[in-house]
Chain A
């Protein structure tokens, strides 16, 4: 019986729905595993705003107003609703403390962590640092600190980030996203053939995972 499913997740650290979607997917993954399913999960890079400067001066509201042309009042209401939604998933978003930045180096760090077998832990650490703790996730020194906080070698991480060792891997992920036609995140690719867009409810993820596992059992 083949209950093993591969899930490739495209997301960005600066994506509030990606952290919420991560929690919902984890809830589904636990239910899937409880019924005998096996999952292999891999995160991939997607940059929502690659034109963002590393040292953006201003708040999240300032960014959305100045870069996206949204009215300040609408942005404030939107972030308030997002914060409320996050609490339902056990997340404490703090948009007032959030430091908006470019996320390409954070994606490089995720690939560094993947090479060390710690990508899922690094992903969780980066999301929490960005949305809940007001930590900067764009500068290499700050990112190396976060790597060290999950037990990775700080100096090795800093060297990888400074030399852009994993930038080609980030670019490859972005090219793969284009090939799949992915235009928004989070986006989940199941066994390389099923696409699931957005922060789905856990029950939907479970249905898709079971569908994938059942399909894998059908004789060729």
Chain B
């Protein structure tokens, strides 16, 4: 049905799996840092 995907982009980008979501470290969560 599908071929293998070539994974691209930032492999550390946050996501949710199994009902639990990754949260970046607090300093990364600071809007002033974005």
Contacts and interface: CB of A to CB of B under 8 A. Distances in A.
B8 A70 contact: no
Given A17-B14, A48-B19, A82-B21, A194 B31 contact: no
A81 interface: yes
Interface string B1-27: 111111111111111111111111010
B29 A81 contact: yes
Contact of B20 (A70, A87, A183): A70
B15 A197 contact: yes
A21 B14 CA distance: 9
Contact of A78 (B4, B10, B23): B23
Given A184-B15, A192-B2, A204-B13, A16 B7 contact: no
A181 B5 contact: yes
A186 interface: yes
A48 B15 CA distance: 11
Most buried by A among B3, B5, B20, B29: B5
Contacts of B4: 181
B11 A197 contact: yes
B16 A12 contact: yes
A78 B23 CA distance: 7
A196 interface: yes
A179 B10 contact: no
B13 A180 contact: no
Nearest to A51: B19
A179 B4 CA distance: 9
Nearest to A204: B9
Given A195-B7, A201-B10, A16 B21 contact: yes
Contact of A179 (B2, B8, B18): B2
A88 interface: yes
Interface of B: 1-24, 26, 29, 31, 34
**A-B pairs with lowest CB-CB distance, top 5:** A198-B13, A195-B5, A184-B17, A49-B19, A184-B15
Given A193-B3, A196-B9, 4 more contacts: A17-B21, A81-B24, A198-B12, A199-B13
